[in-house]
Amino acid sequence: MRRRARAKAEPPGAEAALEIAARFLGTRPRSRWEVERRLQRARASDQVMEATLERLARLGLVDDLAFSRWWVEQRDRHAPRGRRLVEAELRQHGVGREVIELLRNELATLEVEALASDDAEADLPATEEARARIALDRHLRGRPLPEDPEAVQRLGMFLMRRGFDPETARAALRERKADQSQQDED
């Protein structure tokens, strides 16, 4: 395995920095902060780094709001999490509070519209309760809700560790229990 000697390597110029950033962005969308860190690891100068980030932003390749939308969509599709945990993950990726606030407002609007339209064809869960229910169903993998109150409490704690607030976790458990009771009656 060949490695470049870091001590002898020159800091990348504008084109090399753009190439480094493009390769980094090739695998998945990234936040501005992530691209900036990658360029810092490559030892790009502040001027080259700023120029590269500005160029990528003009091209639409570095956009924290678009990254945040993508992140939320991926979470909803593959590993549903509560709003609080998703926001914490976004902050870990360097997304600023103002972008998170914009995203929160967008999602609230979409949630209201989805509830008003009652669209059963929607790809993503419309509400926080729906996401909690999906997380619970995936965790249980078709098994019934346990009868033991301590086991049910552990399931509630599981949902809260996934970023759902206590009321949302209780609502998902109640809904699952009601569905299970209805299936038992049939």
Among 75-79, 85-89, 105-109, top mean pLDDT goes to 85-89
What pTM was computed for the model? 0.73
Residue 4 has pLDDT above 60, yes or no: no
**Residue 143, class by beta-carbon neighbours within 10 Å (0-12 exposed, 13-18 middle, 19+ buried)?**
exposed
pLDDT the model gives residue 94? 96
Which secondary structure element, helix H or strand E, spans residue 5, and what is its range?
A: none
pLDDT-based confidence at residue 180 (cuts at 50, 70, 90): confident
pLDDT, position 70 = 94
- Residue type at 49 in one-letter notation: M
The pLDDT of residue 67: 95
Write down the pLDDT at residue 125. Answer: 59
**pLDDT(3) > 90:** no
How wide is the angle at C-alpha 116 spanned by C-alphas 114 and 120, nearest 5°?
50
Q: What is the pLDDT of residues 90-144, one digit of tens each?
A: 999 999 999 999 998 887 777 666 656 655 445 555 688 888 999 999 999 889 9
Q: Mean pLDDT in the chain?
A: 87
**What average pLDDT does this structure show over 17-23?**
95
How many other CB atoms are found less than 10 A from the CB of residue 56?
Answer: 20
DSSP 126: S
DSSP secondary structure letter of residue 127: S
- pLDDT at 83 > cutoff 90: no
Quote the distance between the C-alpha of residue 7 and its chain's center: 36
Query: To 10 degrees, the CA torsion angle through 39, 42, 48, 49?
Result: 10
Share of the chain above pLDDT 90, in %: 62
Structure-model confidence comparison of residues 185 and 155, the more confident one? 155
